[in-house]
Chains A and B, each alone.
Chain A
Amino acid sequence: DIVLTQSPDSLAVSLGARATLNCKSSQSVLHSPTNKNYLAWYQQKPGQSPKLLIYWASTRESGVPDRFSGGGSGTDFTLTISSLQAEDVAVYFCQQHYSSPLTFGGGTKVEIK
């Protein structure tokens, strides 16, 4: 099974500052035939269901603000919030959809400093 390790566990960032979240995979999730990384990022606000932010490691889902960006390839990935807003307080999860069983990282909690 592919293990995803997220870091840090929690992050306190000032309003308007940059937040960088990491996700490391135990195996490459790069799908060679399509040259796409099968890695997604989700945001889960308190009391809500998860919401898809990023798929294929760097493609923003429709309607997601452009302050959210994804990067990386192979086994190392990042989610960056370029200018943190109050409404971005949430737990962020990465997920690999490269192979079964699909797996999630443990999550990073983002708070306001």
Chain B
Amino acid sequence: EVQLVESGGGLVQPGGSLRLSCAASGFAFEDYAMHWVRQAPGKGLEWVSGINWNNGGIAYADSVKGRFTISRDNAKKSLYLQMHSLGVEDTALYYCAKDRLPTVAALDAFNIWGPGTMVTVSS
């Protein structure tokens, strides 16, 4: 079964850091671009960051550029999001998502999503 499972969320104080992980199974992880998408409570979806299959192509939303770093370990079939300088506006459910096709550019629809991990930034 194709599956993504996020972990690492929790409660953190403003200005703090957190590292999210996403464990993939059931598909050739190394062939696909991967993304982080977040959803603030009661709000819509916001793409956060994407990374292509070999770490050669990385992009970020302006709202997180310079504070968040996406990375992947194909041998461990894992995706990561290192978050620094967290603010209350970063409070959200963070989803890991997979590109539909194994293309070079991380520009595709997302056909598999994880259940998400909640990040709460509060003092």
Contacts and interface: CB of A to CB of B under 8 A. Distances in A.
B107 A103 contact: no
B44 A107 contact: yes
Interface in B59-92: 59-62
A101 B47 contact: yes
Interface residues of A, number: 24
Given A55-B109, A97-B107, A102-B35, A49 B47 contact: no
Contacts of A98: 107
A97 B114 contact: no
Interface of B: 35, 44-47, 50, 59-62, 95, 100, 106-111, 113-116
A50 interface: yes
A50 B59 contact: no
A52 B111 CA distance: 5
A93 B45 CA distance: 8
SS class, residues of chain A in contact with chain B? loop
Interface in A76-106: 93, 95, 97-106
Interface string A42-55: 10100001111001
Contacts, number: 59
Nearest to B111: A52
B102 to A, nearest CB: 15
Interface string A18-60: 0000000000000000000010101010000111100100000
Contacts of A1: 62
Contacts of B108: 55, 97
Contacts of A100: 50, 59, 106-107
Contacts of B111: 52, 55, 61
A72 B89 CA distance: 34
Nearest to A48: B115
